[in-house]
Amino acid sequence: MVGAAISVSGLEKHYGPIRAVDGLSFEVHPGEVFGILGPNGAGKTTTVEILEGYRAPDAGVVRVLDLDPATDGDRLRPRVGVMLQEGGLYPGLKAREVLRLFAAYHDNPHDPDALLDAVGLAAASGRYVRRLSGGQRQRLSLACALVGRPEVVFLDEPTAGMDPQARAMTWDLVRGVVARGTTVVLTTHLLDEAERLCDRVAIVAAGRLAALGTPRELTTDSARAEVRFTSTAPIDLAKLAVALDLGDDAIVESHSGEYRIQVAGTPALVADLALFLRDHDVGLSALESGRQSLEAVFLQITAESQAAGAETATADIATAEAATSEPATSGRGTTGPHR
């Protein structure tokens, strides 16, 4: 882990008998966008709050910029930015006032007006925070997280509530920040966002690491290969399974007229599929073989974890994360030194 921006080894966090984080290990390279993905209650919130210094681990070793977040907070906070999905702003201040206040906490901040323009809030800079839309508040939170020129920035659902144009602008802004050397840790439920932005992703289920790799590595895993096609008329899946010599559960109708065959798309299988459609006078609107979407991989991995008995633990973790309050979490805000 030498040279890692973030290193996590054997991380554990318990809430009574509940293991919210159960032996988690990974590292984040400097200057990359690293996604932490998982269903609600997977333990990712606890993990990120430990990295930010708001919760203390029960076991394991955690380092952010070679510092221990639990004991080196005074040295670490000026070097880290945090964007929350909700909260951390002052509703009675104007957007420009909020960002100038956050800038005052840092020795070498970005120019607040220039940053407001960069996040598309120049026209709304004189508006009170309580008058901003949800998407505008998200963009202001992002600006607050970036104003101190952080070396590591944590983004929690950064585009929640944004329209497509603001979302694309935010993605470009994150890419620009990374191009200047900042390390980004991203949590999101938007799997297309993770696939577009992240250099690598960790999928967490029931407090354990279920998968780790680049989006391409995870979506081109031969063990998860599939064929996707769209037909012009309904298909009898049982008959198609017989024609392709597959089990009944190997073919799934994901949407009306859209199907997934959960095996590798060999030339022989594609030819047999084409013959079946011809013999049943069904047209083919689309055909894709090989690479899955990150969303499909995520759903498969989390389903496998649930099948292994993790669903009860996941529900317990979600309850514990929501109910547990530690002194270290009080005042959790958008950026570092003001906490």
Q: Encode pLDDT of 144-176 as tens digits.
A: 999 999 999 999 888 887 889 889 988 999 999
Q: Encode pLDDT of 33-45 as tens digits.
A: 999 999 988 999 9
Q: Encode pLDDT of 230-249 as tens digits.
A: 999 999 999 999 999 999 88
Determine the pLDDT at residue 226: 84
pLDDT for residue 98 is more than 80: yes
Determine the pLDDT at residue 324: 60
Q: For residue 320, name the pLDDT band (cuts at 50, 70, 90).
A: low
pLDDT for residue 84 is more than 90: no
Measured CA to CA, the distance from residue 228 to residue 289 in angstroms comes to 6
Report the topology of domain 6-90+148-218+298-329: Rossmann fold (3.40.50)
How much is the average pLDDT of 48-77?
95
For residue 172 the two structure tokens come to 């470009």
For residue 245 the two structure tokens come to 């010599």
Determine the pLDDT at residue 76: 95
* Mean pLDDT score across all residues of the chain: 88
Domain layout of the chain by residue ranges: 6-90+148-218+298-329, 226-290
Q: For residue 339, name the pLDDT band (cuts at 50, 70, 90).
A: very low
Determine the pLDDT at residue 337: 47
Return the bridge partners of 205, or none.
208
